[in-house]
Each structure stands twice: as C-alpha cells, then as structure tokens.
Structure 1
Amino acid sequence: MFGGHGLYRNGRMFALVADDVLYLKANDANRPLLEAQGGQPFKPFADKKMVMPYIEVPVDLLEDADRLVELAHTALAAAMAAPPPPKRRRAK
C-alpha cells in the first residue's frame, strides 16, 4: 500500500513507519496537538495530493519517551474511534 510498516493494537493501525519516519494516527481530537509539535501529514506518494490521516512525529520527540507515549495514546484513541476496517473476504 505505502511501502512502510504499520503498528497495530487490537486490530487497529495507530502508527506507521515509512522511510525511517514515525507517523501517528490523527483525527479531529488529536490533530492540532500533533501539528503543534511540528508534525507534517503523511503523503505516501510525492507526486500525488493524497494525504493519509497520520502525522509525523518530529525527531526531537523521539528522545522524550514520556511525551511520545502520551502522543501514542492519542493516536490509539484516534484509531479506536475510527470505523472498523472492512472484513476481508477469503478466496475459495
């Protein structure tokens, strides 16, 4: 899909790593908080306008474990608040 790695909890993706950058799931509740930290939206394809609901975690926050855990909790809450992913149909 995007060439990165998804981080899941309870079947919900709340973070991803792409090109050595950590992104956290964002929604209306936590997006302002993540953007205030200096995070930029995840754009999986540079040549397209598509933006996914994930915000970059600035490098300096990766060194602050307490703050990173706090932000990860907001991302998990955003993932759990989103509609569940569609069930995959198994091939027969």
Structure 2
Amino acid sequence: MRKVRIVGSKYIQNSGDSYRAFRVNYYTEFEDNDGYSRPFFKLGIKANYFVSWGAYCDGNTIYTSGYSTYWFKTIDEVNDFLERRH
C-alpha cells in the first residue's frame, strides 16, 4: 500500500493554517472530526488530488474536518488553485 503524500500547500495569512494538497490512491482513508473513516474507493469520486484547509495525513489516512475541500484530476489544477488562494 502506498502512503498518502502532500504535493503542495499554501499558508493563508491570519488564518493560522494552510491549504494542503494530497495525492490520493485507491486505498486512501478519510477520517473526519467524529472519527468516522471511509475509504476513497467507496466515495465514487474520479480525482487524483484532494485539497483541504487544515487537513493532515498519517500513513494512508487523511484527517479532515470536511470544510473547504476540493478535488482535482491533475497537479496543474492543484497548483493553479493554490496560487489563487490569499
């Protein structure tokens, strides 16, 4: 199993945190604030990258609040998105 890796980030001034972009794979797990975990393959989303504000990863699990989340197919889309954040 491949680990999730961060492929980009952008700190948002006066927010105290960053948007982080992750390269996801079939086995990536997502866990929310309530401790509910679900695998990427069951979400039915056709994307390769996940971007979220304040999310972090450990192994193959991404921990996210579920707010300000975005999905992208290419790294160019991710980079364009991060460049536009203030």
Q: Is TM more than 0.5 here?
A: no
Greater per-residue helix proportion: 1
Q: Which has the larger radius of gyration?
A: 1
TM-score by length of 2: 0.28
For normalisation by structure 1, the TM-score amounts to 0.27
